[in-house]
Structure 1
Amino acid sequence: MPGPSGGLIHHVELWVDDLVAAEEQWAPVMLALGCAPFQSWQAGRSWRLGDCYLVLEQSPALRPGGHDRLRAGLNHVAVHGSRAVVGAALAAGWTLRVDTGDTAHLVDRQGFELEVVCA
Protein backbone atom coordinates (compact mmCIF):
# COMPACT_ATOMS: atom_id res chain seq x y z
CA MET A 1 0.00 0.00 0.00
CA PRO A 2 1.46 3.40 -0.95
CA GLY A 3 2.28 5.80 1.87
CA PRO A 4 1.10 9.38 2.20
CA SER A 5 2.66 11.85 -0.22
CA GLY A 6 3.32 14.67 2.24
CA GLY A 7 2.51 13.64 5.78
CA LEU A 8 0.01 11.91 7.97
CA ILE A 9 -2.82 14.47 7.77
CA HIS A 10 -4.42 15.32 4.43
CA HIS A 11 -7.02 17.73 5.85
CA VAL A 12 -9.12 18.49 8.90
CA GLU A 13 -12.73 19.58 8.41
CA LEU A 14 -14.61 21.40 11.16
CA TRP A 15 -18.36 21.82 10.86
CA VAL A 16 -19.37 25.13 12.40
CA ASP A 17 -22.69 26.72 13.34
CA ASP A 18 -21.69 30.15 12.03
CA LEU A 19 -19.27 30.28 9.09
CA VAL A 20 -18.90 34.07 9.17
CA ALA A 21 -17.92 34.08 12.86
CA ALA A 22 -15.61 31.09 12.40
CA GLU A 23 -13.86 32.70 9.43
CA GLU A 24 -13.37 35.94 11.39
CA GLN A 25 -11.49 34.03 14.08
CA TRP A 26 -9.73 31.28 12.12
CA ALA A 27 -8.51 33.28 9.08
CA PRO A 28 -6.04 35.50 11.01
CA VAL A 29 -4.65 32.43 12.81
CA MET A 30 -4.27 30.42 9.62
CA LEU A 31 -2.51 33.34 7.90
CA ALA A 32 -0.20 33.80 10.92
CA LEU A 33 0.66 30.09 10.64
CA GLY A 34 1.77 30.68 7.03
CA CYS A 35 -1.29 29.06 5.44
CA ALA A 36 -2.78 30.46 2.25
CA PRO A 37 -6.47 30.65 1.38
CA PHE A 38 -7.22 27.48 -0.60
CA GLN A 39 -10.93 27.01 -1.31
CA SER A 40 -13.99 29.20 -0.90
CA TRP A 41 -17.61 28.29 -1.55
CA GLN A 42 -20.97 29.40 -0.16
CA ALA A 43 -20.85 27.05 2.84
CA GLY A 44 -17.12 26.83 3.47
CA ARG A 45 -13.56 28.10 3.43
CA SER A 46 -10.18 26.40 3.63
CA TRP A 47 -6.53 27.32 4.17
CA ARG A 48 -3.57 25.26 3.02
CA LEU A 49 0.03 24.75 4.08
CA GLY A 50 1.96 22.26 1.97
CA ASP A 51 -0.15 19.18 1.37
CA CYS A 52 -2.40 19.73 4.39
CA TYR A 53 -5.40 21.99 4.73
CA LEU A 54 -8.06 23.04 7.24
CA VAL A 55 -11.71 23.34 6.22
CA LEU A 56 -14.45 25.29 7.97
CA GLU A 57 -17.92 24.38 6.74
CA GLN A 58 -21.44 25.36 7.73
CA SER A 59 -23.02 22.26 6.23
CA PRO A 60 -26.77 22.05 5.59
CA ALA A 61 -26.52 18.52 7.06
CA LEU A 62 -25.26 19.89 10.40
CA ARG A 63 -27.25 18.72 13.41
CA PRO A 64 -28.18 21.38 15.97
CA GLY A 65 -26.48 21.54 19.34
CA GLY A 66 -23.12 23.15 18.70
CA HIS A 67 -19.63 21.81 19.27
CA ASP A 68 -18.66 20.46 22.69
CA ARG A 69 -14.99 19.51 22.95
CA LEU A 70 -15.75 17.56 26.13
CA ARG A 71 -18.03 15.10 24.31
CA ALA A 72 -16.86 12.19 22.20
CA GLY A 73 -15.28 13.52 19.03
CA LEU A 74 -12.69 16.17 18.39
CA ASN A 75 -11.22 17.67 21.56
CA HIS A 76 -8.75 20.07 19.93
CA VAL A 77 -6.44 20.70 17.00
CA ALA A 78 -2.74 21.20 17.84
CA VAL A 79 -0.37 23.06 15.52
CA HIS A 80 3.30 24.06 15.54
CA GLY A 81 3.33 27.83 15.89
CA SER A 82 4.76 30.81 17.72
CA ARG A 83 3.83 33.52 20.19
CA ALA A 84 2.90 35.65 17.15
CA VAL A 85 0.24 33.08 16.22
CA VAL A 86 -1.10 33.23 19.79
CA GLY A 87 -1.21 37.02 19.49
CA ALA A 88 -3.09 36.83 16.19
CA ALA A 89 -5.63 34.49 17.79
CA LEU A 90 -6.15 36.75 20.80
CA ALA A 91 -6.55 39.78 18.51
CA ALA A 92 -9.21 37.84 16.56
CA GLY A 93 -11.25 37.23 19.71
CA TRP A 94 -10.07 33.79 20.82
CA THR A 95 -10.08 33.13 24.58
CA LEU A 96 -6.92 31.91 26.27
CA ARG A 97 -7.77 28.75 28.25
CA VAL A 98 -4.26 27.64 29.34
CA ASP A 99 -0.79 29.03 28.64
CA THR A 100 2.18 26.98 29.82
CA GLY A 101 4.74 29.12 28.03
CA ASP A 102 5.52 26.30 25.61
CA THR A 103 1.90 25.83 24.53
CA ALA A 104 -1.20 27.99 24.47
CA HIS A 105 -4.70 26.51 24.43
CA LEU A 106 -7.18 28.90 22.82
CA VAL A 107 -10.95 28.58 22.39
CA ASP A 108 -13.00 30.29 19.68
CA ARG A 109 -16.55 31.62 20.13
CA GLN A 110 -18.05 28.33 18.92
CA GLY A 111 -16.10 26.22 21.41
CA PHE A 112 -13.34 24.83 19.18
CA GLU A 113 -9.98 24.60 20.88
CA LEU A 114 -6.66 25.25 19.17
CA GLU A 115 -3.38 24.34 20.85
CA VAL A 116 -0.43 26.34 19.58
CA VAL A 117 2.85 24.59 20.39
CA CYS A 118 5.50 27.32 20.62
CA ALA A 119 8.50 25.25 21.75
Structure 2
Amino acid sequence: MDNFGSLHHVELQQVSDLRSSVDTWTWLFDALGYTPHQEWSGGRGWRHGSTYIVLASASRGGAHDRRLPGLSHLAFHAGTMQNVDRLWTAAPQNGWSRLYADRHPRAGGDQHYAAFLEKAERFKVELVASDAVR
Protein backbone atom coordinates (compact mmCIF):
# COMPACT_ATOMS: atom_id res chain seq x y z
CA MET A 1 0.00 0.00 0.00
CA ASP A 2 2.85 2.44 -0.69
CA ASN A 3 0.54 4.51 -2.92
CA PHE A 4 -2.02 4.97 -0.15
CA GLY A 5 -3.26 8.55 -0.13
CA SER A 6 -1.44 9.63 -3.28
CA LEU A 7 -3.29 10.81 -6.35
CA HIS A 8 -4.22 8.09 -8.82
CA HIS A 9 -5.10 10.46 -11.65
CA VAL A 10 -6.41 13.93 -12.36
CA GLU A 11 -8.79 14.72 -15.17
CA LEU A 12 -7.22 18.10 -15.48
CA GLN A 13 -9.31 19.98 -17.94
CA GLN A 14 -12.30 19.65 -20.20
CA VAL A 15 -10.98 21.57 -23.21
CA SER A 16 -12.76 23.25 -26.11
CA ASP A 17 -9.90 22.64 -28.56
CA LEU A 18 -8.18 19.35 -27.79
CA ARG A 19 -5.58 19.70 -30.55
CA SER A 20 -4.16 23.04 -29.39
CA SER A 21 -4.39 22.05 -25.73
CA VAL A 22 -2.49 18.83 -26.34
CA ASP A 23 0.35 20.75 -28.01
CA THR A 24 0.58 23.23 -25.11
CA TRP A 25 0.38 20.64 -22.35
CA THR A 26 2.74 18.20 -24.11
CA TRP A 27 5.56 20.74 -23.92
CA LEU A 28 5.05 21.20 -20.18
CA PHE A 29 4.54 17.52 -19.39
CA ASP A 30 7.65 16.57 -21.39
CA ALA A 31 9.67 19.18 -19.49
CA LEU A 32 8.40 17.79 -16.16
CA GLY A 33 9.18 14.15 -17.00
CA TYR A 34 5.69 12.90 -17.90
CA THR A 35 5.32 10.38 -20.70
CA PRO A 36 2.35 9.73 -23.01
CA HIS A 37 0.03 7.19 -21.41
CA GLN A 38 -3.29 7.19 -23.26
CA GLU A 39 -4.70 8.54 -26.50
CA TRP A 40 -8.23 8.41 -27.87
CA SER A 41 -10.32 10.64 -30.13
CA GLY A 42 -11.61 12.72 -27.21
CA GLY A 43 -8.57 12.95 -24.98
CA ARG A 44 -4.97 12.30 -24.02
CA GLY A 45 -3.20 11.14 -20.89
CA TRP A 46 0.36 11.45 -19.52
CA ARG A 47 1.96 9.45 -16.71
CA HIS A 48 4.58 10.27 -14.10
CA GLY A 49 5.24 7.42 -11.71
CA SER A 50 1.94 5.98 -10.52
CA THR A 51 -0.05 9.15 -11.27
CA TYR A 52 -1.49 10.18 -14.59
CA ILE A 53 -3.11 13.35 -15.93
CA VAL A 54 -5.86 13.45 -18.54
CA LEU A 55 -7.10 16.16 -20.91
CA ALA A 56 -10.48 15.54 -22.52
CA SER A 57 -12.72 17.33 -24.99
CA ALA A 58 -15.52 19.23 -23.30
CA SER A 59 -18.99 17.97 -24.08
CA ARG A 60 -20.47 21.44 -23.56
CA GLY A 61 -19.35 24.94 -24.45
CA GLY A 62 -18.12 27.55 -22.03
CA ALA A 63 -14.86 28.79 -20.66
CA HIS A 64 -12.73 27.84 -17.69
CA ASP A 65 -11.98 30.66 -15.27
CA ARG A 66 -9.70 29.79 -12.37
CA ARG A 67 -11.07 32.77 -10.43
CA LEU A 68 -14.59 31.26 -10.28
CA PRO A 69 -15.51 28.48 -7.85
CA GLY A 70 -13.66 25.33 -8.82
CA LEU A 71 -10.05 24.36 -9.35
CA SER A 72 -7.64 27.30 -9.27
CA HIS A 73 -4.40 25.69 -10.42
CA LEU A 74 -1.99 22.80 -10.06
CA ALA A 75 1.50 23.22 -8.64
CA PHE A 76 4.27 20.94 -9.88
CA HIS A 77 7.71 20.25 -8.45
CA ALA A 78 9.95 21.63 -11.21
CA GLY A 79 13.46 20.87 -10.01
CA THR A 80 16.05 23.53 -9.40
CA MET A 81 15.65 27.30 -9.52
CA GLN A 82 17.62 27.19 -12.76
CA ASN A 83 15.10 24.74 -14.22
CA VAL A 84 12.18 26.95 -13.13
CA ASP A 85 13.88 29.89 -14.85
CA ARG A 86 14.41 27.84 -18.01
CA LEU A 87 10.72 26.90 -18.12
CA TRP A 88 9.70 30.53 -17.46
CA THR A 89 11.84 31.66 -20.39
CA ALA A 90 10.54 29.00 -22.79
CA ALA A 91 6.87 29.21 -21.81
CA PRO A 92 5.67 31.94 -24.23
CA GLN A 93 7.05 30.08 -27.25
CA ASN A 94 5.12 27.01 -26.13
CA GLY A 95 1.62 28.41 -25.65
CA TRP A 96 1.87 29.66 -22.06
CA SER A 97 1.58 33.24 -20.79
CA ARG A 98 3.62 34.40 -17.83
CA LEU A 99 1.69 35.54 -14.76
CA TYR A 100 2.92 37.99 -12.12
CA ALA A 101 6.00 38.93 -14.15
CA ASP A 102 6.57 41.97 -11.95
CA ARG A 103 7.01 39.67 -8.94
CA HIS A 104 8.66 36.67 -10.62
CA PRO A 105 10.10 34.42 -9.19
CA ARG A 106 8.84 35.38 -5.72
CA ALA A 107 5.14 35.92 -6.51
CA GLY A 108 4.31 33.25 -3.93
CA GLY A 109 6.31 35.01 -1.21
CA ASP A 110 9.93 35.59 -0.24
CA GLN A 111 10.50 31.98 0.79
CA HIS A 112 8.92 30.52 -2.36
CA TYR A 113 10.66 30.36 -5.77
CA ALA A 114 8.22 29.56 -8.54
CA ALA A 115 7.00 30.40 -12.03
CA PHE A 116 3.30 31.00 -12.58
CA LEU A 117 1.98 30.31 -16.08
CA GLU A 118 -1.41 30.39 -17.75
CA LYS A 119 -2.58 28.87 -21.03
CA ALA A 120 -5.10 30.34 -23.46
CA GLU A 121 -8.05 28.61 -21.80
CA ARG A 122 -7.12 30.35 -18.52
CA PHE A 123 -5.75 27.29 -16.75
CA LYS A 124 -2.89 28.17 -14.39
CA VAL A 125 0.10 26.11 -13.29
CA GLU A 126 2.76 26.85 -10.72
CA LEU A 127 6.25 25.43 -11.21
CA VAL A 128 8.00 25.28 -7.84
CA ALA A 129 11.75 25.04 -7.30
CA SER A 130 12.86 22.35 -4.88
CA ASP A 131 16.11 24.08 -3.94
CA ALA A 132 14.60 27.44 -2.93
CA VAL A 133 14.91 28.76 0.61
CA ARG A 134 11.88 27.65 2.65
**What residue number does 1:73 align with?**
70
Q: Secondary structure at the match of 1:5?
A: coil
Q: AA paired with 1:77?
A: L
Q: Which moved more, 1:35-44 or 1:6-15?
A: 6-15
**What residue number does 2:45 align with?**
46
Higher relative contact order (CA 8 A, sep 6+): 1
**What residue number does 2:128 align with?**
117
Distance 1:73 1:56, change over 3 A: same
After superposition, the CA RMSD in angstroms is 1.8
- The TM-score normalised by the length of structure 2 is 0.77
Question: Greater Rg, structure 1 or structure 2?
Answer: 2
> Unaligned 5+ residue runs, structure 2?
107-112
**What residue number does 2:110 align with?**
none
Residues 1:93 and 2:95 aligned together: yes
Q: How many residues of Structure 1 are paired with residues of Structure 2 in the alignment?
A: 115
Distance 1:33 1:58, change over 3 A: same
Identical residues among aligned pairs (%)? 37
User: Which portions of structure 1, spanning 4 or more consecutive aligned residues, are displaced by more than 4 angstroms?
Assistant: none
> Unaligned 5+ residue runs, structure 1?
none
- The TM-score normalised by the length of structure 1 is 0.86
Shift of 1:65: 1.3
Q: Secondary structure at the match of 1:29?
A: helix
Do the aligned residues in 2 keep the contact of 1:28 with 1:88 (CA within 8 Å)? no
